[in-house]
Amino acid sequence: MKVALIAHKYYGDKDSTIKRTTQMIKEAASSGAQLVVLQEFHQGAYFCQDENVDKFDLAINYKEDKKYWSSVAKECNIVLVTSLFEKRTEGLYHNTAVVFDTDGREAGIYRKMHIPDDPNFYEKFYFTPGDLGFKPIDTSLGRIGVLVCWDQWYPEAARLMALNGAKMLIYPTAIGWFDSDDEATKSAQLEAWVAVQRGHAVANSLPVIAVNRVGFESDESGGGIRFWGNSFVFDAQGVELFRSNSTDEIVQIVDIDMQKCEQVRRWWPFLRDRRIEAYGDITKRFID
């Protein structure tokens, strides 16, 4: 499967950013991409750096936004993974990935389950945790497991997607450094982020795709996040097929051997040897 990773900076307003994203999608499609994965909140800024009730207005056009990306998927004849701010009803909002099939049909959605609350990542202020569970989305290219950003740190999420038949794991992402952090701290954070997701690929014998935004975005106090890029693809055995740098926008097509998953699971039968009768405590918060 030819998968395109598209990562870019914020272009100052929604219209300009959408125009840039659309250009990049068309470039990927013209180069043979079948599946295109966008970064978390690709339509605009990462708005969760502050707690501001006015920013809920960014979700008002959720239905119109879906119509637009549906038309792009259909025009380009691709399966398209988008990341949108969903207003479900008054006072109820989600961080939602929407997947469109090649005919523009909405194949399915995933509502982000794990919601962070850290400096400049005040997502609990904006988002209700997802209520759809860890269910893959069926597309004309197969069943894909879409998760979002903070979900990527949790092996339970990846495992449940795998147990539900996902053929790959996909993570639209917005993560970065603070400029005040020292280089050792930055390196440790980045490599931990890469390592845990590579582990999901190995433990589940599935390709893993992460697409992270780039560029500096300021907050209301004069600080901000420098998004660290490093979008990547690991195959079903944890082999690195692609990894970008920390600064450049990318339209990168990666050819993934989907048959390798079956072969790897024959060599390393992790699912066969799971001791499911002994895992009951995994649903507890902590074992005293």
DSSP letter string, 54-100 = GGGGGGTTHHHHHHHHHHHHHHHT-EEEEEEEEEEETTEEEEEEEEE
pLDDT (tens digit, 0 to 9) for every residue of the chain, 288 residues total?
999 999 999 999 999 999 999 999 999 999 999 999 999 999 999 999 999 999 999 999 999 999 999 999 999 999 999 999 999 999 999 999 999 999 999 999 999 999 999 999 999 999 999 999 999 999 999 999 999 999 999 999 999 999 999 999 999 999 999 999 999 999 999 999 999 999 999 999 999 999 999 999 999 888 999 999 999 999 999 999 999 999 999 999 999 999 999 999 999 999 999 999 999 999 999 998
271 Cα distance to chain centroid: 24
DSSP reduced 3-state for 206: coil
- CB under 8 A, 24+ apart: contacts of 89-98: 92/128, 93/56, 93/59, 93/126, 93/127, 93/128, 94/127, 94/128, 94/130, 95/40, 95/41, 95/123, 95/126, 95/127, 95/148, 95/149, 96/130, 97/146, 97/147, 97/148, 97/172, 98/66, 98/69
Active-site hit among 9, 76, 87, 149: 149
Reference 125, options 133, 116, 137; nearest CA is: 116
pTM over 0.85: yes
Domain spans of the chain?
2-283
Active site residue 40: yes
Q: What is the CA radius of gyration of the chain?
A: 18
Q: How far apart are CA 153 and CA 271, in angstroms?
A: 20
Pairing of strands 232-234, 208-212: antiparallel
* Catalytic choice (40, 86, 123, 217): 40
Q: What is the pLDDT of residue 221?
A: 84
Query: Amino acid identity of 138?
Result: D
- 156 is a catalytic site residue: no
Q: What is the DSSP letter of 268?
A: S
Q: Point out the catalytic residue in the list 9, 66, 87, 112.
A: 112
Residue-level pLDDT at 171: 98
Class of domain 2-283: alpha beta
Residues 216, 222, 227: CA angle, nearest 5 degrees: 20
How many C-beta neighbours within 10 Å does residue 129 have? Answer: 13
Is 149 catalytic? The answer is: yes
